[in-house]
């Protein structure tokens, strides 16, 4: 018995990249730091919220390359003048990636109360109806 993968199903022509995107997304979510939410804000609007307590805006970078949204955080090292008796607040660097579907764009980013909000919107493509002319001929008739 042959195993059909998502990208090789005969009714999904041209979707072979979808399987690779799913695999890439699964690998990107290997660790759980920082925690995040994804919410739908409207029919074509979404928001990703990351809990980045302790990070300043200058400690964070957001990039978009080839439909992959990447958020990186790196804090400056605390000086030797600080002595911690207990250190429970994470101060480590992180990278969190999200693969965006085609047509999803980053609308903006904001930060409030230790939460980084990234707003996304999906543009609606115009519906195109195309009529395909049938070329070629069937059997020729003899006219007599």
**pLDDT tens-digit profile of 54-102?**
899 999 999 999 889 999 999 877 667 878 888 777 668 999 999 998 8
**Helix residue ranges per DSSP H, 12-131:** 16-28
Give the DSSP H/E element, type plus range, for residue 121.
strand 115-122
Question: Domain segments of the chain: what residues?
Answer: 9-122
Query: Hey, what are 71's tokens?
Result: 């958020």
How far does the chain reach from its first CA to its final CA, in angstroms? Answer: 55
Full-model pTM: 0.67
- In CATH, what number does 9-122 get? 2.60.40.790
- pLDDT tens track for 122-135: 988 788 899 999 99
Mean of the per-residue pLDDT values for the chain? 82
- pLDDT tens track for 11-24: 666 666 666 666 66
Strands, E assignment, 22-127: 36-42, 45-51, 60-65, 68-73, 94-99, 104-112, 115-122
């Amino acid at each position: 018995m042959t195993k059909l993968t998502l990208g090789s199903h005969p009714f999904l022509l041209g979707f072979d990249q979808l399987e690779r995107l799913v695999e890439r997304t699964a690998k990107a979510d290997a660790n759980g730091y920082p925690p995040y939410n994804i919410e739908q804000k409207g029919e074509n609007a979404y928001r990703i919220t990351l809990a980045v307590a302790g990070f300043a805006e200058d400690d964070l970078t957001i990039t978009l390359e080839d439909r992959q949204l990447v958020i990186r955080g790196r804090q400056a090292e605390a000086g030797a003048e600080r002595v911690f008796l207990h250190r429970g607040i994470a101060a480590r660097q992180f990278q969190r990636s999200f693969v965006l579907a085609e047509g999803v764009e980053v609308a903006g980013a904001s930060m409030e109360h230790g939460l980084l909000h990234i707003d996304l919107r999906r543009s609606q493509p115009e519906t195109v109806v195309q009529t395909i002319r049938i070329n070629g001929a069937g059997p020729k008739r003899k006219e007599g």
